[in-house]
Amino acid sequence: MAGANGSLTLTVLGSGTSVGVPMIGCQCSVCLSNDARDKRLRPSVYIQYHGRGVLIDTTPDFRQQALRFGIERVDAILYTHSHADHILGLDDVRPFNFRQRGSIPTYASDEDLATLQRVFTYVFDGRQSQSSRPRIEARPMNGRSFDLFGLEVTPIHLNHGDGASYGFRFGNLAYLTDHSAIPQESLAKLRGLDVLFLDALRHKPHPTHTTVDGALEHVRNLQPRRTFFTHMGHDLGHEETETRLPQDVRLAFDGLAISSEIPA
């Protein structure tokens, strides 16, 4: 999965919703589908460049994702927001602490860092423990771009219902999940993209997520070269849904790997 010199590789670790697909107890056609692309773990991606590996979100499925896709190092973690389906796998970064013999820089908004500190008190309280625990360096994001291992990373503020989440732009690629709207000032940071990932939960409106039609409207506005929808529920069967999309818009799926050139 490693990116070549001058490029980055994004691997989709999970393209599903907070409950995943198939959903527990559901007998719908998508949950019973034999298409591997309809099996969706919780939403996360892994980005590789310059010999580094950057994880976006630690889902409850992170251990399974790391084993499935052969993740060997995590040099930094970026959090989009602090909902359960995006943070509850934090404890499973411990093997990377062991292997790398150090702590992992972890970036999130002040509000989301406060939630992490509350949910994972044992990670941050500084008390002596006979058990191992994740070793992370909390680094608050202030909304401005920052350097991460020689690549500029731009946080993209998003509306997530009444709350907020963050997408991230790396060079000519941007990953946005869990958004109900993209503010105008954020749209301005998403021009000229080679690859764009967008939330597209389902066709029916939802108070905290974007519909397929809403995501397509963003595509028409921003005009990236390629777009992939993610954070999809069991309303969207992969094969059937793609037949109704423009050729430059596809559905993400677990294991999808996309490369993008890093601007000089």
1 located within any domain: no
φ and ψ at residue 121, rounded to 5 degrees: -55, -40
Q: How many domains does the chain have?
A: 1
Predicted TM-score of the model (pTM): 0.96
pLDDT of residue 2: 47
Residue pair 78/53 in contact (Cβ under 8 Å)? The answer is no
Rounded to whole angstroms, how far apart are CA atoms 110 and 97?
24
Q: Which residue has the tokens 């790398």?
A: 100
Rounded to whole angstroms, how far apart are CA atoms 77 and 136?
9
For the chain, what is the radius of gyration of the CA atoms?
18
2 located within any domain: no
CATH number at residue 200: 3.60.15.10
Residue count of the chain, please give it.
Answer: 264
pLDDT of residue 5: 54
155 located within any domain: yes
Please give the residue range of the domain that contains residue 193: 7-126+133-261
Q: Which of 40, 37, 41 is nearest to 240 (CA)?
A: 37
Half-sphere exposure of 147 (CA within 13 A, CB side): 3
pLDDT of residue 38: 98
157 located within any domain: yes
218 located within any domain: yes
pLDDT of residue 37: 98
Residue pair 122/135 in contact (Cβ under 8 Å)? The answer is no
121 located within any domain: yes
Non-local CB neighbours of 90 within 8 Å, separated by 6+ positions: 58, 116, 120, 123, 134, 136
pLDDT of residue 4: 47
Q: Give average pLDDT by consecutive 10-residue segment, the chain, 264 residues.
A: 71 98 98 98 97 98 98 98 98 97 97 97 88 94 93 97 97 97 97 97 97 98 98 98 97 97 86
141 located within any domain: yes
